[in-house]
Structure 1
Amino acid sequence: MNRFASILLTSLICIVALGQFVQVITRYVLEVPVMGLEETMMYPTVWLYILGAVNASRENSHIRANVLEIFLKTDRGHTILAIIGEVISLIVGLWLLSWAWQFTQYAWKVWRESPTLYIPTFYFDVALVVGLALMMVYTALHLIRHIRDLRTGAAQ
């Protein structure tokens, strides 16, 4: 799974970089903008952003401001704080996931298209619900791991 995620994210970032390179060369060097390139670049850009957040959730490497950890002296205290943080993240994430699901249902019903190339936007609208669902799975797994560490005494 780790290899697949890194290959997918690397591919997406290369596609985005290549698209931006083509845009700069054609627009500023050749002075012939490629119509619709921005629309086609939305797909890999949105998926890269969302899957990057999923990857950070999988690796448990989101940016955090753990100010309370300064005052906690034991590993047990750190684990309890991590459990509280994961529970709050799970509650907020599930709430956002329900909104994303409603938006996905709306996007399916409306079936919007991009203004120039008439590409269905549903395929990058759905990235939000997929990404949030995966983030909630990883958050739940981290929560279970912290609870297990607290129970087994690994966080003493």
Structure 2
Amino acid sequence: MDRFSKYLLTGLICIVAFGQFVQVITRYVLQVPVMGLEETMAYPTLWLYILGAVNASREDNHIRANVLEIFLDTTRAHTILAIIGEVISLIVGLWLLSWAWDFTRYAWRVWKESPTLYIPTFYSDVALTVGLALMMLYTASHLWRHLKSLRREKVQ
């Protein structure tokens, strides 16, 4: 899974960078804007943004302001703080996932299309639901890992 996500994110970055390069060349050098390029670039850009957040969740690499860790001395206290953070993240994330699922159902029912090229927007709308679901899976796995770590610390 690591290898797949690495190649997928790299591919999306290349697509977005190439699209921006084409846009700059055609618009500012050739003075001929490509109709619908921004519209098509919105899809890989959105997926890149969401899957980048999923990757940060997978690697447990999110930006955090762990001010409370300064005041904690023991590894056990740090683990308990991490568990509390993961539980809060899971609660908020599941709440957001329920909203995203409602939005996905709405997007499926309405089946909107982009204004210029008539590409169904569902393919970008579903990214939020997929991303949040994956983030919640990774959050739950990190919570499980912290709980196992806390149990091991109790035994010793």
- Decide: shared fold, TM above 0.5: yes
The aligned residue for residue 66 of structure 1 is: 66
Moved over 6 A (4+): none
The aligned residue for residue 119 of structure 1 is: 119
CA distance in 2, matches of 1:120, 1:39: 11
CA distance in 2, matches of 1:8, 1:57: 16
The one-letter code of the counterpart of 1:108 is W
The aligned residue for residue 10 of structure 2 is: 10
Deviation at residue 144 of structure 1 after TM alignment: 0.1
- Partner of 2:32, secondary structure, is coil
- Deviation string 1:95-124 (CA, Å, 9 cap, x unpaired) is 000000000000000000000000000001
Find out whether 1:38 has 2:55 as its counterpart.
Answer: no
CA distance in 2, matches of 1:34, 1:75: 57
- Deviation string 1:12-58 (CA, Å, 9 cap, x unpaired) is 00000000000000000000000000111011000000000000000
Runs (5+) with no aligned partner, structure 1: none
TM-score normalised by structure 1 residue count: 0.98
The one-letter code of the counterpart of 1:60 is D
CA distance in 2, matches of 1:121, 1:24: 25
- The correspondence of residues 99-138 of structure 1 with structure 2, limited to 5 A, is 99-138=99-138
TM-score normalised by structure 2 residue count: 0.98
- Deviation string 1:51-75 (CA, Å, 9 cap, x unpaired) is 0000000000000000000000111
CA distance in 1, matches of 2:141, 2:129: 18
- Partner of 1:116, secondary structure, is coil
Deviation at residue 153 of structure 1 after TM alignment: 1.2
- Partner of 2:86, secondary structure, is helix
The one-letter code of the counterpart of 1:121 is T
CA distance in 1, matches of 2:99, 2:64: 24
Deviation at residue 149 of structure 1 after TM alignment: 0.1
CA distance in 2, matches of 1:66, 1:143: 17
CA RMSD of aligned residues (A): 1.3
- Partner of 1:48, secondary structure, is helix
User: Once the two structures are aligned, what percentage of the paired residues are identical?
Assistant: 81
The one-letter code of the counterpart of 2:124 is F
- Partner of 1:47, secondary structure, is helix
CA distance in 2, matches of 1:68, 1:110: 46
